[in-house]
Every structure is written in structure tokens, then in C-alpha cells.
Amino acid sequence: MKRTTTKLADGRELIYFDRDGGAVRDAVDRRLLEPVDSRPELRLDLATGDWVTIASHRQGRVHHPPTDACPLCPSWDGNHSEIPAADYDVAVFENRFPSLAGRVGRCEVVCFTPEHGASFADLTEDRARLVLDAWTDRTENLSSLPGVEQVYCFENRGAEIGVTLAHPHGQVYAFPFVPPRTAKMVAVADTHRRVTGGNLFEDLLAEARAAVSRVVLAGEHWTAFVPYAARWPYEVHLYPHRRVPDLTRLTEAERAEFPGIYLELLRRFDRLFHREDGAPATPTPYISAWHQAPKTGGQELALHLELFTVRRSAGKLKFLAGVESGMDSFVNDVAPEAAARRLREVAS
């Protein structure tokens, strides 16, 4: 992998990741851009103890632009995008409309491919591995920044999720605090250690592998399974068999096996739903989220990926209404064992 760092016209960082060690990345951003003026503010919700980010500047971000004006496509005559090069493998840049910035963290955009109409599932294993290398690079670099507590790599896919740019991409957030979901995991994992003497995530993986009915895919180094108490209609957790805190600690063998298993999971998600006439439904919307240990109090946590969709059938979505949004109490319409069985049935 070759890594090339450059600057955009407003001073934001842009990083190219290439499979070809001879790739030259000297294209100049010729846009006339005003400096980024983002002043997100962190406020503590005294009723819950959770941090809330106020980022009103994001109201002006790009929203569903036409294909020929996509800011994540390579630049070409007439369209100068966020990526000055005429082509790229994987590109990462600082978000122009960040939720977190400066002293309160950092947000980056990860462009998986120059192909506007593609998806992560369309990538080759080599390209998916390059994305994994980019995630690992950003985890290592952002974790070293002063004040950063946790690095979160994720992808939102589909208009149903709220995606405003159709080009296949993900994001990386460098949180200056431990997010609520991670804080809850830390507390539960610490209690599990005190009560049982074991690690919660090692035990969850062992229990899932023993409960064959919830295993979707298994390799030498990774297992994908539906959790016992899944919140979402179709939710899969992907764990390495060896507990590590974050992406930087994976071995070469673990990195080599990941792309094949992950791509197969994404392709199965896209085969889950069909319309009444038998034709495939629109591409399955999903969120793919890497959970990594934070700097503070994360000794018991384990790296894992959570992949889930808000779609519960071809024409129905799982909305977070009064019970879920108001009380953080989930109700799942699909039994985890049935979801796992369906995901096994749609194997290619």
C-alpha cells in the first residue's frame, strides 16, 4: 500500500491510499474555497450524563447533488470535486461540514471507489483490503491526537438511513469523549469480569459459535453471527476469533481473511428482500459500524463490526418510534434465529 498526503484548497488534509506503489498523486485542488468555519460545541445532558454535539453549520452541507456534481467522484473538466485526481483507489479527507472539529475531535470521509454507481459489495477483495488498511491507518493516526478518546469507522448506506451523498463512502469520527454505547459496554464488560472472571466478548463469541442456529458465516479467523438479543430485523456481528482492542492489532492472516467474509455478508444483505412480483428490492440500506476500545477504561472491550439494516421486509422499515426513541427500549420484529437462517439461505 502507498500512502500519499496532500492538502485541499482550504487547507484540509487529503490522503490517497493506492495498491500501486508507483502511483503519483500530484493533482492540485483548483477550487476557490473559503476556509472551513465550523465551531461544533459539546454540551453535557445533565439528565443522562451523555455528551451532545451542537453542529448547526451542518445545515448548509451538500444534499443529494446530481451525479455530474458529486463531490466524491474524481475531478474532471467542469467538475472539481473534493478529490482533485482524475482517478483514485481509496481516498480519505477531512469533512468540510464536520460534526467534530478542532479541539472537539475530527471527522473524515472515506471514499471506497471512484465508481459513483457502485457499492462496497461491488469491490474486489484487493480493494476491500485497501479500505481495511485505510481504516487501520486512520485509527492509528487519529488515536494519537491529543484529546481523542475513541476512533469510530462506519458506513451509512441508503437514503432510508439518511445518506445525502449516493457515492459509496464511509466516515471516521475521532471522539473527544467515550460515546454512550461504548460507555455502557465498558460498564457491562467490567461487571462481567468481576462476576465470572472471564471476558464478556470472548464469552459472547464462544456462545454464538456454539449456538449454530445463529452463525451466518465462519472462517479460520472470523465468525459472523446474529446476536442473541438482536435489536434490528437483520443484524450481524463480525468478530475476530482472537480478542484485540482495535484494527491496528490485527495480524496479517486476520487482515487477509476479512475482505472475503465481509463482502459476502454485504452481498447476502442485498439478496435478502424481493418485491411481491419476485424482482429484487432496491439495494438494502444498512449501517456498518466498527466498535474499537477507547483509550479510557476499554481494557475489556474487543474489536468487532456490527452490520444491520432498518428494513424488515421488502416494503417495510423499522422505525425508531416512541418506545425506541423515547425510552431506548428496542422491540425486534424478526427472531434472531430466523434472521440468521435467512442470511444462510441467500448464500451465493
Which residue numbers are catalytic?
169
Cβ-based neighbour number of residue 93 at 10 Å: 22
89 closest CA partner among 128, 122, 142: 128
* Residues 84 and 29 sit within 8 Å (Cβ to Cβ): yes
Measured in whole angstroms, the distance separating CA 32 from the mean position of its chain's CA atoms is 31
Task: Measure the CA–CA gap between 196 and 202, rounded to whole angstroms.
Answer: 12
127 closest CA partner among 17, 265, 266, 24: 17
Task: Measure the CA–CA gap between 132 and 138, rounded to whole angstroms.
Answer: 10
Cα Rg, the chain, nearest whole Å: 20
Task: Measure the CA–CA gap between 126 and 27, rounded to whole angstroms.
Answer: 24
Torsion of the alpha carbons at 90, 308, 104 and 148, rounded to the nearest 10: -80
Distances from the Cα of 119 to the Cα of 76, 114, 222, 225, 258, angstroms: 21, 10, 23, 23, 17
- Classify strands 222-225 and 316-317 as parallel, antiparallel or unpaired: unpaired
Residues 6+ apart with CB under 8 A from 247: 132, 135, 136, 139, 153, 290, 292, 303
Exposed/middle/buried for residue 201 (C-beta within 10 Å: 0-12, 13-18, 19+) = buried
* Residues 313 and 274 sit within 8 Å (Cβ to Cβ): no
Element (H, E) at 205: helix 200-210
